Structure 1
């Protein structure tokens, strides 16, 4: 199993994830064993399908995007933005961000690779040779100041540590930051739009697309959950369950080592569960993954569905559902066989959703 996918599942407090379909599973852990949960044996995993075609399903009706939502989104973009300017009519003061050019000299000779142009530095931050940038206080933009420095321990060029140098620093301007205003100029800077009205329309369309995607995902989740609920796993193969459990455990053990913690301390601290609860949860997730695979394979066989000749759109959907930012990375990780399985799962879910009788209330 891909660690990217494992991490995504574990990050959501062991909530579980339905592979291939992009649906979220229902992880019910009541402490009582069902008949399914007790059947972990050294046999082939097996499932009995229930009803999966023409299922009646009710989902919540989501409201249309309102004008207020559009306005809120537009103004959020304005509030999170700032407009930078150049101040040249006063001297540098503590707390200013200044734009400078500088060059270092040692014994009157320029230090190789010491020249930097168009560099912003916060006065008082201490990042320039342990606070030497404060020597620029009182300097006017356009003026040059000579700053004496001593190269500190840990400086990247070890041969310079402990030596003295002089940096000639020219202040170009003091950087000003002001709250942005909703104007045609502003929206043209943050988008391809030329006017505020165009930007509002672009935001509305983006919100409507997001809302429709949410509606579609809710439909898919509801139908697929019903399909899984109707199916009955006759037996779980103990080796398959343990393999998935080991993958999750290995991932979290690696994360625990990064924090220099034991696995028990890690799950208690970052997942808020005891080891017994953790073990039970990942076993539930393992069985849910196996059940989903079995159901997908059984429906695919019954309906003659496969993952051959995948379209670019299908591959893109599978890539997004598994949390990839780039399709190429998904293709490389999954390979042709893995992608075929993913596309088969996608088509199976499409099939049962398309046949379902979905009501929105």
Structure 2
């Protein structure tokens, strides 16, 4: 059941651009002690973390930086095409001397080595040059997904229109001095080590917070659910299924079956459990924030909204994906982070160390 609850969240988050519902979710009018019995959330135990950055991790980070700094070069007619190059090609495929459906294209961009075509097609282009025209005599595999083509001999007439190659800069002192603020490889690699450490420490801390929140949630019992909020999320999730079905050109029953819900009755049960879990979490966030006087500033709220908008999540998209308007969504997210910080600050960090 928990797997399907997670699927509901995934399904909802995969659909963008749905019409906003214009609703607000708030627990301000509730005495939450009437709805939840909150157990321990201070003094919860969580294992400490230990981080050790390896040379391999530093090298991998540097290689990633080099890849991101790569430039694209147009290949001339004298340069042989190699694995990894992107070619623009026209091709015509024929079986028994006749063209077949899906076997031809013009202006097709293909990355050699991607495995997009049958064996021999991409490797057959390697060594060729821009402007070359040639034939590839190949054979479809015996397990090919098209019954009519399984094991059949095929000839492709191929024309290479153009080709590009990613040129990755060479790592060394020149690269460091020309692209960074550092003068030596030692200084640069020390900065990379710190960057990797900081990333892994952030992940380790988030993992601690996640474990502590799970404990706090487990220690909290629901006396009753506020009907307005619970019904709202149940209806919202159901409407999302309808919107998804329309988006994908499927019936509601087909979509439910595709996402392993089985049938409407099973979805209703999963939807109710998912909505109850969400409402429980929101009530606990609000309860702890109020009890511990945890607040966020107007500036933090403005920055959060700005960051969402810069990432492409405007008010309409936030509401269509979460069921909360922008103000309410930012409110609960900021409070959640304040609560997590508080729980971690008041945790008992002891026991066996967990590596990164």
Matches within 5 A, 1:1-361: 10-11=9-10, 46-53=35-42, 55-59=43-47, 61-78=49-66, 84-85=72-73, 90=78, 122=88, 124=90, 127=106, 137=131, 181-185=170-174, 197=186, 199-269=188-258, 271-275=259-263, 276-307=265-296, 309-312=297-300, 324=308, 326=310, 329=313, 334-336=325-327, 338-359=329-350, 361=352
Q: Does the 8 Å contact 1:59/1:222 carry over to 2?
A: no
Q: Does the 8 Å contact 2:88/2:163 carry over to 1?
A: no
Residues 84 and 260 (structure 1 numbering): CA distance in 2 closer, same or farther, change over 3 Å?
closer
For structure 1, list consecutive stretches of 5 or more residues without a partner in the other structure: 1-5, 15-43, 98-119, 130-135, 139-170
* TM-score, structure 1 normalization: 0.55
For structure 2, list consecutive stretches of 5 or more residues without a partner in the other structure: 14-32, 92-104, 109-129, 133-160, 319-324
> What's the CA shift for 1:256?
1.9
Q: Distance in 2 between matches of 1:230 and 1:175?
A: 58
Q: Distance in 2 between matches of 1:122 and 1:278?
A: 46
Secondary structure at the counterpart of residue 124 of structure 1 = strand
> What's the CA shift for 1:64?
2.1
Q: After superposition, what is the alpha-carbon deviation per residue over 1:203-247, rounded to whole angstroms, capped at 9, x for unaligned?
A: 323321211111211221122222111111101234432321221
> What's the CA shift for 1:298?
2.4
Q: Distance in 2 between matches of 1:349 and 1:260?
A: 41
Secondary structure at the counterpart of residue 294 of structure 2 = coil
Residues 287 and 180 (structure 1 numbering): CA distance in 2 closer, same or farther, change over 3 Å?
same
Q: After superposition, what is the alpha-carbon deviation per residue over 1:271-330, rounded to whole angstroms, capped at 9, x for unaligned?
A: 3332344433332221111112222232233333344x3443x7657887xxx3737956
Between 1:259-268 and 1:286-295, the stretch displaced more is: 259-268
Q: After superposition, what is the alpha-carbon deviation per residue over 1:95-143, rounded to whole angstroms, capped at 9, x for unaligned?
A: 9x9xxxxxxxxxxxxxxxxxxxxxx9835376569xxxxxx938xxxxx
Question: What CA RMSD, in Å, does the superposition of the two structures yield over aligned residues?
Answer: 4.7
Q: Distance in 1 between matches of 2:186 and 2:209?
A: 35
Q: After superposition, what is the alpha-carbon deviation per residue over 1:12-51, rounded to whole angstroms, capped at 9, x for unaligned?
A: 899xxxxxxxxxxxxxxxxxxxxxxxxxxxxx97111112
Rg larger for: 1
Residues 88 and 338 (structure 1 numbering): CA distance in 2 closer, same or farther, change over 3 Å?
closer
Q: Distance in 2 between matches of 1:92 and 1:351?
A: 61
Q: After superposition, what is the alpha-carbon deviation per residue over 1:136-174, rounded to whole angstroms, capped at 9, x for unaligned?
A: 938xxxxxxxxxxxxxxxxxxxxxxxxxxxxxxxx9x97
Secondary structure at the counterpart of residue 40 of structure 2 = coil
Secondary structure at the counterpart of residue 287 of structure 1 = helix
Residues 91 and 257 (structure 1 numbering): CA distance in 2 closer, same or farther, change over 3 Å?
same
Secondary structure at the counterpart of residue 296 of structure 1 = helix
Residues 256 and 188 (structure 1 numbering): CA distance in 2 closer, same or farther, change over 3 Å?
farther
Q: Distance in 2 between matches of 1:92 and 1:56?
A: 63
